[in-house]
Amino acid sequence: MRTSIATVCLSGTLEEKMHAAAEAGFDGIEVFEQDLVVSPSSPEQIRDLAAELGLSLDLYQPFRDIDAVGPEQFAANLQRAEAKFRLMDRLGITTMLVCSNVATAEIDDDEVVADQLRRLGDLASGYGVRLAYEALAWGRFINDFEHAQRIVDLADHPNVGTCLDSFHILSRAWDPAPIEDIAAEKIFFVQLADAPLLHMDVLSWSRHHRVFPGEGDFDMVGFMTHLVRAGYDGPVSLEIFNDAFRQADVHRTAVDGLRSLRWLEDQTRRALDGRPARGRLQLQALPPVEEPDGYDFVEIRTGRLGETTRLLHQLGFALGGHHQSKEHVQVWVQGPVRIIVNNAVPEDAPTEVAALGFEVADPATALERATRLSARPVSRSQRDDEQVLRGVFAPDGTEIFFCQRPGNGVPAWLGEFGADEEIETGALVTGVDHINMAQPWQHYDEAVLFYTSVLALAAQPAQDVPGPSGLVRSQVMRSANGAVRMPLNVAPTAAEQGSFVGAAYPEHVALSCTDVFAVARRARRRGLRFLPVPQNYYDDLDARFDLDDEFVAALQELHLLYDRDAEGEFLHFYTQTLGTVFFEVVERRHGYSGFGAPNAPVRLAAQYRRTHPPRTTDPRSRTGREVRGTSPIGSTGTGAP
């Protein structure tokens, strides 16, 4: 499958975009007109740069508002088009995107439009240019790909074909199946975009909220299977208008984009069992990955060893041992839960979740898949007598390791810590329920695709949780077997509320158990500092659920929170935060499937009070660039408050 990307997807200059696309491994690009117009490079220089980078220039786009106009206007449009054909000749681009008319369309007559496309085709053929006609979802008269196709067929010109854009088709909920009825040779180009299902006008939706395949809600695999069955074998190109991508690092975005196409190609191949009917499109398969069936370990790196191990002990963990060859590395265990404490950092280093180990059937294959998906491998040193661990960096920099599903329940690497048996006694914790990871807003979509494509997790519907520093967007990534749950949280970017928000937004490890009261009591005995829960919360619980008073009193005594859904109940408590990490212990009764979302605001508020000093009424904070001005005719400004 030939991969391509529109330059409008990427940030920076045209030359930066081209370098990034080539480095990411794209075969070609679409040249977005404005990117060329604002560039000091001549068309010939762009052509040469593309050749040098091994990029094909697949499409020149867009050409707008040519059709469905009166004769005079059309004559002017032909002039405008010819200037572009000359330009394309200098660029060496042979396909132009022609969008159905939005702004100037006057004549709602397919014959007229077809005739105008035919005449444009005649002009184009003189320059060896093919026209890919696309129905914009908000086109004045033509906004449906089947309608556009009828017109292309009417035009019946070798240089006039169709461009199919998944957004314009799926956003309007047109059935994509009829794509299979289009003659393959008439599909001149294909643009792909996914998007979250938003209820807003389709133009704004399209201009600001498109995402790469796998990052949204559209059925992109279904769309691709129709294309393959139609026999299309041209480039498959990404055209994404996304406010965040426009700002993000161009190299990251390009890598993210290619990953989305490789994943889609693989998924499509599987959907077709690799045997597309008339399919001429060659679909590469990726090495397979099965969903993980558990967390093998969690690594916490900290400069504060004492506080960290005390917290672990209070939660019931026992010291499993010290690593035989790696100084300052311990393992703490409780039942099946293994937490690596890595103290090989300076004292002032942050305390954070540094790495996650996932149990998979075939680590080597999983790593191969991940690297094929442009994930950057983690390289680590080990002795010959030590386990080989395979991992890659997640978009947020966390190390993700693929660990061999242990036969006897005990991973081989534990031997490197000389772990004993008797440490297993008194385990009340039964596993890792979920791990809540903070994501920088500009790489959130990238993270969703990463966990989808690399670990076969699926994104659940996102929700907003209100906190004192703003809304926190939370989306759970989950394995179908339910063994792995990982909420991704995007914290507010607020510049004004100090360290609580943004990068320092806390993450947490939630441990499961069957008797949260017992875990909490032991923790209290061992001196755990619980996250405080206000009295008002318990009063409100009473009002929301009819719980008996003893039960509520018991919850309150141990700082436990409570939630209930149709299936069952959820009891949990939080520890205070160490660095950027805290722990939660949860008990799920019956089939409760949530994460206590109604209680999240209580947690956020309590954490805010802990980490955020009462605001001083600093006047400086009230006018932004306070001392920007001094005074009109230049007082020394000393007067300004």
Q: Tell me the closest approach of the beta carbon of residue 283 to a copy of itself, in angstroms.
A: 27
Between 232 and 451, CB nearer to a copy of itself: 451
User: Tokens 């990307």 correspond to what residue?
Assistant: 5
Q: Tell me the closest approach of the beta carbon of residue 325 to a copy of itself, in angstroms.
A: 9
Q: Treating both helix axes as pointing N-terminal to C-terminal, what angle do 43-53 and 71-91 enclose, rounded to 10 degrees? A: 50
- Between CA 438 and CA 157 the distance in angstroms is 54
Q: Tell me the closest approach of the beta carbon of residue 523 to a copy of itself, in angstroms.
A: 21
Pairing state between β 160-165 and 187-192: parallel
Contact in structure between 333 and 317 (CB atoms under 8 Å): yes
Contact in structure between 299 and 343 (CB atoms under 8 Å): no
Q: What tokens appear for 67 in the block?
A: 């059709």
Q: Tell me the closest approach of the beta carbon of residue 163 to a copy of itself, in angstroms.
A: 21
User: Tokens 């703490």 correspond to what residue?
Assistant: 332
Q: DSSP letters along 491-540, please?
A: ----SSSGGGSGGG--EEEEEEES-HHHHHHHHHHTT--BPP--HHHHHH
Q: Tell me the closest approach of the beta carbon of residue 4 to a copy of itself, in angstroms.
A: 20
Sequence-ordered list of residues with C-beta below 8 angstroms from that of 84, at least 6 positions apart, any chain: 60, 63, 96
Between 10 and 318, CB nearer to a copy of itself: 10
What backbone torsions phi and psi does residue 629 show, to the nearest 5 degrees? -100, 155
Q: DSSP letters along 84-143, please?
A: HHHHHHHHT--EEEEEPPSSS-----HHHHHHHHHHHHHHHHTTT-EEEEE--TT-SS--
Q: Tell me the closest approach of the beta carbon of residue 173 to a copy of itself, in angstroms.
A: 16
Q: Tell me the closest approach of the beta carbon of residue 598 to a copy of itself, in angstroms.
A: 9
Between 461 and 641, CB nearer to a copy of itself: 641
| Three-class DSSP category at 629 | coil
Q: Tell me the closest approach of the beta carbon of residue 17 to a copy of itself, in angstroms.
A: 9
Chain-centre distance of CA 586, in angstroms?
Answer: 27
Count other C-beta atoms under 10 Å from residue 356's C-beta: 25
